[in-house]
Chains A and B, each alone.
Chain A
Amino acid sequence: DTEVTQTPKHLVMGMTNKKSLKCEQHMGHRAMYWYKQKAKKPPELMFVYSYEKLSINESVPSRFSPECPNSSLLNLHLHALQPEDSALYLCASSQPGLPQYNEQFFGPGTRLTVL
């Protein structure tokens, strides 16, 4: 199984809502990533988990809270988001190590709209 799954595919939320994005992989990868991608822009790295521990946080606002409950799952908890946070949120996984050393497998993304 070389698939990374993400749920939901689409999410619309208000600025006062709390929601979560979920990501799952069963490739035995021990590194997982969250990226944010605005329209017609490249993905921007947000967080990296290595062996279920947060190893990179690219100065992301605290309204985004990642969680890695086990080696197959990655969550992104969202709270008090702003309209400018509307974007495609991509999850990826790879063998452990820094992202530049490894092929990353991406999920299809969650399209988030904040009203």
Chain B
Amino acid sequence: SQQGEEDPQALSIQEGENATMNCSYKTSINNLQWYRQNSGRGLVHLILIRSNEREKHSGRLRVTLDTSKKSSSLLITASRAADTASYFCATARYGQNFVFGPGTRLSVLP
């Protein structure tokens, strides 16, 4: 299966702390994307990182990609209550399915 696997499944932190979520996948990929989903709503695209990139930043988000370990991490710095959501990585390889991982449910406590 191409599916990414997020780790941890659930994470609770205090406001102001950093949150790190990991995604592992099984075969080589073209790109890896991270999405956020607030409870019961549509997904919001966060970052796309290409297979030849190692790190990308967007505001308080930092994504790394280690193709040798087939893993990616999403770091949210200085978390806020509004960051409470589920976070999914999504991957695909050319000719294969585009698949979301099972997700990490992040709770940021005020």
Q: Check A42–B48 contact: CB distance below 8 A.
A: no
Q: Which chain A positions have C-beta within 8 A of B88?
A: 42-43
The reply to whether A108 and B100 contact each other, CB–CB distance below 8 Å, is no
Q: Are A99 and B98 in contact (CB under 8 A)?
A: yes
In the bound complex, residues from chain B placing their C-beta under 8 Å from that of A45 are 97-99
Task: Tell me, in angstroms, the Cα distance from A107 to B43 when the chains sit together.
Answer: 8
Least CB distance, A43 to chain B, in whole angstroms: 5
Total residues of chain A contacting the partner, CB 8 A: 23
Q: How far is the CA of A45 from the CA of B88 in the complex (A)?
A: 14
Question: Which residues does chain A contribute within 8 Å of B40, judged by CB atoms?
Answer: 88, 109, 111
User: Which of B42, B48, B99 gathers most chain A CB within 10 Å?
Assistant: B42
- Given contacts A98-B94, A106-B44, list 18 more A-B pairs with CB under 8 A: A42-B88, A42-B100, A42-B101, A45-B98, A90-B42, A92-B42, A92-B43, A98-B98, A99-B90, A100-B30, A100-B31, A101-B30, A101-B31, A104-B43, A104-B45, A108-B41, A109-B41, A111-B40
Give B residues with C-beta under 8 Å from A: 29-31, 33, 40-45, 48, 88, 90-94, 97-103
